[in-house]
């Protein structure tokens, strides 16, 4: 979160082990542009779609969802095909993530 803050983003950290419903509700309350998830549990094929479903149920389908963790390439491709903006693997620099996020959000505004 610090790297994103240093890059000029406002970051709302919800803590560990949040339910998809809690993440979506926080997104609604805070009027966010993006939700970033870090998953190391192996539940990425379940949790990313559930978060996106919860966002849509709150009329937040335009919120950019992205994330990372130890996610196999095939699973990352599947998540992207389901609408996840990007999946970042281990070793991706925080600067790279912040730059991607800034460019992606800027492109959405145009």
Sole residue written with tokens 């009329």: 59
Q: Is the pLDDT of residue 1 over 80?
A: no
Mean pLDDT value across residues 68-76: 95
Q: Give the separation between CA 99 and CA 13, rounded to whole angstroms.
A: 19
Q: Which two tokens stand for residue 68?
A: 């990372």
User: What pLDDT score does 79 carry?
Assistant: 98
Q: Give the separation between CA 54 and CA 46, rounded to whole angstroms.
A: 12
Q: Give the separation between CA 77 and CA 84, rounded to whole angstroms.
A: 9
User: What pLDDT score does 41 carry?
Assistant: 86
Domain layout of the chain by residue ranges: 2-109
Q: Is the pTM of this model over 0.85?
A: yes
Give how far the C-alpha of residue 39 lies from the chain's centroid of Cα atoms, to the nearest Å.
Answer: 10
Confidence of residue 105 (pLDDT cuts 50, 70, 90): very high
Question: What CATH architecture applies to the domain 2-109?
Answer: 3-Layer(aba) Sandwich (3.40)
Name the helix (H) or strand (E) containing 35. strand 34-39
For residues 104, 70, 20, 30, the Cα torsion angle rounded to the nearest 10 degrees is -40
pLDDT tens figures, 80-101: 999 999 999 999 999 999 999 9
Q: Is the pLDDT of residue 31 over 80?
A: yes
Do 4 and 11 touch, CB atoms closer than 8 A?
A: yes
Mean pLDDT value across residues 99-108: 96
């Amino acid at each position: 979160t610090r790297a994103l803050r240093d890059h000029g983003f406002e970051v709302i950290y919800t803590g560990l082990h949040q339910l998809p419903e809690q993440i979506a509700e926080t997104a609604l309350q805070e009027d966010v542009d993006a939700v970033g998830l870090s998953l190391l549990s192996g539940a990425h094929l379940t949790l990313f779609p559930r978060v996106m479903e919860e966002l849509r149920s709150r009329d937040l389908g335009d919120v950019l969802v992205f994330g990372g963790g130890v996610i196999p390439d095939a699973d990352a491709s599947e998540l992207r095909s389901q609408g996840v903006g990007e999946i970042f693997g281990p070793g991706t620099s925080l600067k790279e993530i912040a730059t991607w996020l800034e460019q992606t959000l800027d492109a959405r505004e145009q």
